[in-house]
Structure formats: C-alpha cells, structure tokens
Amino acid sequence: MEENKNLTAERSLEIITEQIERSRRTITQNSSKSLICWGVCVFVFALLIAYLWKNCGGPVWNILWGAMWLFGCLGEWLISKHKEPVGPSFVGKTVGQVWAIFGIFIGAIGLFFCLNGLGLLSVDFTLPHGHLYINLTSIISLCFGIASTTTGAILKNAFMQICGLIAGLGGFFVALLLPGVEQLYVMAAVALVGLILPGVAVYLRNKK
Amino acid sequence: MFKPLDPLLHSELRLAVMSLLISTEEAEFPYIKEQTGATAGNLSVQIDKLSAAGYIEVEKTFKGKRPCTLCRITPTGLKAFEEYIDALKSYLEK
C-alpha cells in the first residue's frame, strides 16, 4: 500500500471497509477457536462421565467436571499462544465477558451442589409442600444457549444464534424428560450444537 | 458543497492504519504490517506522521525479551477520523 495523492472517495471508503472487515474477521476467527475448545471439552467429559457413572461407581464421577475446567483452561492457553495478534477490541472483550459470566454462574451453582452432595454443606431446599427438585442440566443448557445466542448476536452470525436457541431451549426441555445419567448425553448434545458446530462454521467461514 | 478532506488521513496507508485501529483498542506493529501489506519502512514513516499529529499513540514495550511496538488511536484521532468520514459522505452523496 503506497502513498496515493489521487485517492478517490470511493477508494477511501473501500479501504476503510476492507480494514474494518479484516479486523472483525480476525476477532471472530479467534473467538471460534475458544468455542471449539470448550465445546470439545464439555462433549468429551459429558460422555466420559456418563460412561463411568453407568459402569463404575455412579454419580460421584461428576467430580471430573473440575478436571474439564482445567483442560479447558489449558486449551485456552494454547489457543492464546497461536492466536492472530489482534489487540483487544470491544467485540472480543464482550464475547469474553459473556462466557466469563456464564462460567461464574455455572461454576458457582456446580460448586455449591457438589459441596452439598459431598455433605460439606448441609442445606436442605424445601418448599412449603415438600422438597425442591432442581434439574441442573436444564439450567446449564439454558445458560449455554443464552451465552451462545448472545455470542452469535455480537459476532453477527445467524447460524450461531440458531444453534444457541436450539441447544438452550432443546437442552432445557429434553433434560427435564430424562433421568440422572441420561442427562449427560443431553449435555454432550448441547455442547455439540451450541458450541462445536457454530465454532467450526465460524472458523471455516473466516479461514483465509 | 464538498467538505475538505484531512490531508493526513487522505492517504491509502495512513487511512488503512486508522481504520484498523478503530476496531481494535490497540494493535502491534507486525499485525498492522500484515493487515495493510505495507513495508516496515513505509509503515514506520506513516505511523510517525500519525503519531506526530496526535492521532495515534505509540508505545514501545517488550513481549518477553522481544521489543514490541503498540499503536492505539487517541481521542483526537478518533475525532479526526469521524470528521473524515463525515467529509467523505459529502463526496459520495453527489
């Protein structure tokens, strides 16, 4: 790109559009790698925990979700080392914040029920007419869907928004119909539809 | 009536640099070089011009042991860019 004294208004507009689009593409491309990383982690761990739950020992294997978090962070660190060196942007930061808030909510709920299940907390949720039943997979699926759809809206990606809606609402209702261990298959499906598929689609679309 | 175009921004490379910095809070020199396809020498000269006008600020820092030049747009640069776009509209509307 050299100095051009006879720059037309059309060419100026073209340069501006081109550069903003390039930058947006890089940010979207970087975001898609994180979506795929966390999607694969949830998918693999949901199926692994389901297998172990069924074959050796029961729901205690849910403790492995903690290990998934470590794997996810490791993956995120590896991705950050190979990301294109685009600086922080409003879009990139907003997408990061959406998923960080999702992580905080789900992490807090998961930790609470884990500690409660292990007997380290002795909270007994009751309603006036009996015990309260909380379907954690439904709640997580719904939060997944909200975060995924919001990310799609920020990145202006309709496919991601549709996937987020299907994963969130589908996961919420299907998990209500299934008992215990079967819900982990719902979790795997939610990760596949809500994270992996849109992540791969965005990655391929923006690949140079 | 055509509005005057800021001569500092009315250059392919300087305009490309400013457009790139509009969508990111800051960018490293190699990234700008790659995205604009400019040579290091030419880019360096144009960045100095934008910096001297107060449109961008340049921070020399280190990334590990390697030197790293960070560029970010300033409020003055943002205002100038907005005015440039506004002026551009008057040419495109005709």
Tell me whether residues A90 and B25 touch, CB distance under 8 A. yes
Q: Where are the domains of chain B?
A: 12-92
Could you give the maximum distance between any two Cα atoms of chain A, in Å? 80
Does pLDDT of A25 surpass 90? Answer: no
Bridge partners (DSSP) of residue B68 are: B61
Place of tokens 């309260």: A132
Paired tokens of A173: 């209702």
Residue with tokens 């990234």: B31
Please give chain B's pLDDT, 94 residues, in tens. 777 788 888 888 999 999 888 878 788 888 888 888 889 999 999 999 999 999 999 998 887 788 888 999 999 999 999 999 888 888 877 6
Phi, psi of A3 (to 5 degrees): -65, 130
What is the C-alpha separation between A154 and A98, in angstroms, rounded?
Answer: 10
Q: Which CATH architecture has domain B12-92?
A: Orthogonal Bundle (1.10)
Examine the pLDDT at A43 and tell me if it is beyond 90: yes
Is B15 part of the contact surface with chain A (CB cutoff 8 Å)?
yes
Residues contacting residue A151 through CB under 8 Å, at least 6 positions apart: A31, A35, A95, A98, A99, A160, A164
Which of B12, B45, B56 has the highest number of chain A CBs within 10 A, making it the mutation to test binding with A? B12
How far A152 CA sits from the closest chain B CA (Å)?
18
What are the two backbone dihedrals, phi and then psi, of residue B83, each rounded to the nearest 5 degrees?
-65, -35
Q: Token pair for residue A133?
A: 């039943």
User: In this predicted model, what pLDDT tens digit does every residue of A142-186 receive, in sequence order?
Assistant: 998 999 999 888 888 899 999 999 999 999 999 888 878 888 999
pLDDT of residue A6: 67
What's the average model confidence in pLDDT over A5-31? 80
Per the CB < 8 A criterion, the answer to whether A33 and A79 are in contact is: yes
Whether the CB-CB separation of B84 and B2 falls below 8 Å is answered with: no
Which residues fall within 8 angstroms of residue A59, CB to CB, at 6 or more apart? A53, A117, A180, A181
On whether the CB atoms of residues A202 and A28 are closer than 8 A, the answer is yes
d(CA B19, CA B10): 12
Per-residue pLDDT band for A84 (boundaries 50, 70, 90) equals low
Closest in A3, A16, A88 to B19, CB measured? A16
pTM value surpassing 0.80: no
Residue A3 pLDDT: 57
A177–chain B nearest CA distance, Å:
45
Residue A129: per-residue pLDDT: 67
